[in-house]
Amino acid sequence: MYRSISSLNILLNTQLLFIMAIATSYNVTSTQGAREDLSNQLKRVAPEETPMYATLPQSPGPKALLNEWLVDDLPLPAYGSPRADGADLSFNSDFTNEIANRVRLGNRIQRFDRAAAVSPLSEMIDVAGPQTSLLAASKARTLITLKTDIEAAIGSTQVLDVGTSSVGDKLQGIMAWTDPTATTGAFDTSAKQGFRSIGGSNAQDGSAANSRFDFTSNTLTEAHFRNLLQTVYEGGGKSGSYKLFAGSSLVNQLTDFSRATNAVGSTGVKFDADVNGGTVRLSVVKLVTDFGEVDILPTLFLSRSSGSALGAAGRKAGVLIPNDDTVSLKIMEPTNLIDLPDVGNGGSRFVARTHLTLCVLNPRALGSIV
């Protein structure tokens, strides 16, 4: 049976009207009264763990913008020409100035701050999230952000610098303190350079011992890591326990040291893995070495430039620090939340602020991986 085109159009329009008469999830929008379902949950998707800031010890707070300390060395042992019995001391040549080699090292106090504001009306509206107050939420977020600013500065390659009218003083980061070839910042004189981390020419015995390994251009092996530990032991003069703050790629590389394919040669002892409990451990959190125990602490804030995301340099970076007072934080002003006047009726304003520096008493006792 044939229908005309006009009768087909009437039939289609009738079917279309019938379909459009059904309320569906696609045509009932907020205009028609559909509600939103927004839970009171908020998850930050950026790293906020700061292991160096959290675990480094604190030493007495500084009283000036430049915080300094004295370093000294010892002469090489000498016993091959003992003084003859009864010989008199020469008034000049047989006496020494025991404080002649003392040098001042230091670091600048850096200011860290984050400021935010919330308008009056935004404080009155109902918002989703664990904190209904946008002002309280802003303060909490600012404190976390400030903490990561400090962590990144501590672990940076930044060298100390005196402030000007446009930018404040800068502290020297740990990756600059551990540079065996540094000639600027804290090591801007030849006398200070004698106290740098050990690397080649400034090793006491003139050897190629090096407390810094270039992981960016080379593969880090167990032999390389042992050499780094040995150099740090020789520079610091004592074995002990250490913290190794390590980037993610470095952590993976250190874990590979424990794998049977790396730890056992063709004639070595074979290991049997006991997996009866259903668990296979693929992580190394502590290394027991000839020169002490090394706790491995992953971090994402080493060797990161200001305002930059995590990159290859940060993933491969690491710094080895003794568990004593060799490296400490000196805090001039603890972190404060300061509420500011509502000038101009624009809303609530505040600033989170702290002043601190990094104290490195003995750079020769440190190791680093870049």
Find out whether 139 and 145 touch, Cβ atoms under 8 Å. no
What gap in Å lies between CA 360 and CA 215, rounded to an integer?
24
Quote the pLDDT of residue 295. 93
pLDDT at 206 (0 to 100): 47
Between the alpha carbon of residue 34 and those of residues 21, 29, 95, the distances in Å are 17, 5, 93
Over residues 27-39, the pLDDT tens digits come to: 888 888 888 888 8
Within the chain, which residues score under 70 in pLDDT?
1-20, 200-208, 258-283
pLDDT score of 272: 54
Residue with tokens 């794998």: 259
List 333's β-bridge partners, or say none. 355
pLDDT digits (tens, 9 = 90+) for 149-174: 999 999 999 999 999 999 999 999 99
CATH no., domain 51-72+101-263+281-369: 3.90.1690
pLDDT at 3: 55
Alpha-carbon distances, residue 246 vs 239, 254, 321 (angstroms): 20, 10, 11
- The pLDDT of residue 38 is 84
Report the length, in residues, of the chain: 370
The b-or-e profile of 98-132 (16+ CB within 10 A means b, else e) is: eeeeebebbbbbbbbbbebebeeeeeeeeeeeeee
Could you state, in order of their start, the residue ranges of all structural domains in the chain? 51-72+101-263+281-369
pLDDT at 274: 60
